[in-house]
Amino acid sequence: MKIYNLLKNNNYKDKNLIEKLICIFKNIKKEDLPNNFDKEISNDILAIIDKAYYEIFFDKKPLEYVLWYVEFNWKKYKVNENTIIPRQETKFMIKEVEDYLKEEKEKIVLLDIWAWCWVLTLAVFSDYQ
């Protein structure tokens, strides 16, 4: 099946979601999608897209749980249903902590007090020297 035909398929009510899934599983940037309308989607990839669409649209699973990773601060972290997915506005909090650490002259100890989202801790500690 061609990408164009999949996008026009009336079984997929959320056109933004199906576009996003095509881009993810075909490794295409969203802005390049129109240039790839004639590309074929293999039956294997089609089955994966269909399963992901069903889980997100009907089962209301977050995209990150379906993909098994979250992208945060330009890094990928593995997640599962027990992981709290950081919201985009959390990046502002991380930036504030990073800026503070850059300004601090003395050695400092950071303590993560049960944030329930280890991605936040990793985001700060991975760049902190």
pLDDT at 88: 75
Q: For 25-37, what is the mean pLDDT?
A: 95
Secondary structure in 3-state letters for 54-119: HHHHCCCCCHHHHHCEEEECCEEEECCCCCCCCCCCHHHHHHHHHHHHHHCCCCCCCCCCCCCCHH
pLDDT at 118: 62
Average pLDDT, the chain: 85
| Model confidence pLDDT, tens digit, residues 47-75 | 999 999 999 999 999 999 999 998 877 78
Task: Report the predicted TM-score, pTM, of the whole model to 2 decimal places.
Answer: 0.72
* C-alpha–C-alpha distance, residues 20 and 56, integer Å: 12
Residue with tokens 């100890």: 109
* C-alpha–C-alpha distance, residues 65 and 82, integer Å: 9
| pLDDT confidence bin for 94, thresholds 50/70/90 | confident
